[in-house]
């Protein structure tokens, strides 16, 4: 059976490339931070699409930086150990035993899979954690209750980012490498912290003065109460959606980070459906919206 890509006439392929050219020119030399997660990380075809997209971006002169999650993989590892994952306001409760699992799953299994996929697709990827080059310094997160700020939840070794030193990322970019970052930070006593990957991606995008922050998810984007896609949101509108319960759970840290990045100078923040093949390229190199764009105002 002929695949759709092979059935495109040469003239149409040339037209598609010509339409991408203005975007390639616009973003040449710019940094794009990509939070990689959801189905795109677990479906073999989507994994291959993602790796190809990242390599293509690098080849046309754009600088991708990948920050990955690994929630399902961590959950599976904990189950094998007979341990049940717990969450508070979208944050994983991380005791010392869970932290050990988080480190070997994220910095070992998951990161090396991503590095291997990108290298197989023709790129040169290098894996990093927050320890490498002093990339992510963190402290214990003080998680205030959404409804009662006087209440503080203890979520264990979950980190709040103190600072990001992007020197090692920039050095890799300058040498044509593609950095792949695991969201693990370190504290003043060399302790490890599990940090929400959306938060790491957002802070890193801000520090690197990225052109775009792309957050790949398992949904089309932010949905209203009727399940309809909201293609563009401001920080005020997001506050209203949180207040009325439309937005909750794991979407909370994602949107908090997105707003923070948008307010801190990242030109565009996109929540994109990672289940769509080549969704990232479609968002970057066409004028069609494939998710929700977050604006600061």
* Binding residue numbers: 70-71, 92, 194
What is the rounded distance in angstroms from the CA atom of residue 246 to the CA atom of residue 227?
10
DSSP secondary structure letters along 207-266: HTT-SEEEEEESSSS-B-TTS-B--EEEHHHHHHHHHTTSS-TTHHHHHHHHHHHHHTT-
Query: Which pair of structure tokens corresponds to residue 138?
Result: 């963190």
Distance CA 155, CA 86 (A): 9
Annotate 5-69 with DSSP letters as a single string. Answer: GGGS-HHHHHHHHHHHHHHHHHHTT-EEEEEE-GGGGT-HHHHHHHHHHHHHHHHTT-EEEEEE-
Which parts are annotated binding residues for substrate?
A: 70-71, 92, 194
């Amino acid at each position: 059976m002929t695949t759709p890509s092979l059935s495109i006439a040469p003239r149409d392929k040339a037209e598609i490339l010509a339409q991408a050219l203005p975007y390639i020119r616009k973003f040449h030399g710019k940094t794009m931070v990509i939070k990689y997660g959801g189905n795109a990380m677990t479906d073999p075809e989507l994994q291959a699409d993602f790796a190809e997209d990242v390599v293509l971006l690098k080849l046309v002169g754009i600088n991708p930086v990948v920050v990955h999650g690994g929630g399902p993989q961590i959950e599976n590892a904990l189950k094998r150990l007979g341990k049940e994952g717990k969450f508070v306001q979208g944050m994983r409760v991380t005791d010392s035993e869970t932290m050990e699992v988080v480190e070997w799953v994220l910095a070992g299994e998951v990161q090396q899979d991503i590095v291997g996929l990108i290298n197989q697709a023709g790129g040169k990827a290098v894996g990093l954690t927050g320890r490498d080059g002093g990339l992510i310094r963190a402290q214990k997160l003080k998680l205030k209750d959404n409804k009662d700020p006087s209440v503080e939840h203890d979520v264990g070794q979950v980190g709040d980012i103190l600072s990001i030193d992007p020197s090692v990322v920039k050095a890799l970019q300058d040498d044509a490498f593609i950095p792949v970052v695991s969201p693990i930070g370190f504290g003043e006593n060399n302790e490890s912290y599990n940090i929400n990957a959306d938060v790491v991606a957002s802070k890193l995008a801000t520090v690197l003065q990225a052109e775009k922050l792309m957050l790949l998810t398992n949904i089309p984007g932010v949905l209203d109460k009727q399940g309809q896609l909201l293609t563009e949101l401001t920080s005020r509108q997001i506050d209203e959606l949180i207040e009325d319960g439309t937005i909750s759970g794991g979407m909370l840290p994602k949107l908090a980070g997105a707003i923070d990045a948008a307010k801190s100078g990242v030109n565009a923040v996109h929540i994109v459906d990672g289940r769509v093949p080549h969704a990232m390229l479609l968002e970057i190199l066409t004028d069609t919206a494939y998710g929700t764009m977050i604006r600061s105002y």
